[in-house]
Amino acid sequence: MVERIAYEVDGWGVGELWLSGRTLAWHEFPFGAADPSGHDALVERVRAYLAGARETFEDVELDLTWCTPFQQGVVETMRAIPYGETATYGEVAALAGHPNAQRAVGSVCAANRFALVVPCHRVVAADGLGSYGSLGPVYKRRLLELEGVVL
């Protein structure tokens, strides 16, 4: 059974975590406004990160049953990008063992269910910021600036 936990972060809005036991099944970034409910240690970690705490989330167990082996390699590579650093789509592809698969890395980022836990905001285009799905480049830049990255 999946438990949905909403959380609110001042200045960011309301997000949601979906947990299956202690395994993260889905993560929505805080955006807009709503009435949050529920409480969990992971929610507190997300709040702390968005308040400026240096958090890696590398210990959070993920449900990757939706991933192909390629996608799993890309997810693992993105999780290894250190806080405050970036990698290009091409670099992530090469590190995941698939040079020249940068467009496919972009597709994995677009399907990313785990937002901060799989930090695709740290994956940038070779010539600049790149996109960030429905939240757009302004949100991506805000997350990178939170980590001290200036592009």
Give the start-to-end residue ranges of the domains of the chain. 3-50, 69-146
Kind of pairing between the strands at 13-20 and 23-31: antiparallel
Calpha distance 132→123 (Å, rounded): 10
pLDDT at 22 over 50: yes
The catalytic residue among 9, 120, 123, 144 is 120
- 69-146, CATH topology level: Arc Repressor Mutant, subunit A (1.10.10)
What whole-number percentage of the chain has pLDDT above 90?
50
Q: Is 67 a catalytic residue?
A: no
With cut-offs at 50, 70 and 90, classify the pLDDT of residue 150.
Answer: confident
pLDDT digits (tens, 9 = 90+) for 77-133: 999 999 999 999 999 999 999 999 999 999 999 988 888 899 999 999 999 888 877
pLDDT at 36 over 60: no
pLDDT at 19 over 90: no
pLDDT at 31 over 90: no
What secondary structure, in 3-state letters, does the chain show?
Answer: CCEEEEEEECCCEEEEEEEECCEEEEEEEEECCCCCCCCCHHHHHHHHHHCCCCCCCCCCCECCCCCCHHHHHHHHHHHCCCCCCCEEHHHHHHHCCCCCCHHHHHHHHHCCCCCCCCCHHHEEECCECCCCHHHHHHHHHHHHHHCCCCC
Phi, psi of 23 (to 5 degrees): -95, 130
Calpha distance 128→71 (Å, rounded): 23
> Over the chain, what is the mean pLDDT?
88
With cut-offs at 50, 70 and 90, classify the pLDDT of residue 35.
Answer: very low
Quick one: pLDDT at residue 32? Answer: 63
pTM for this predicted structure: 0.76
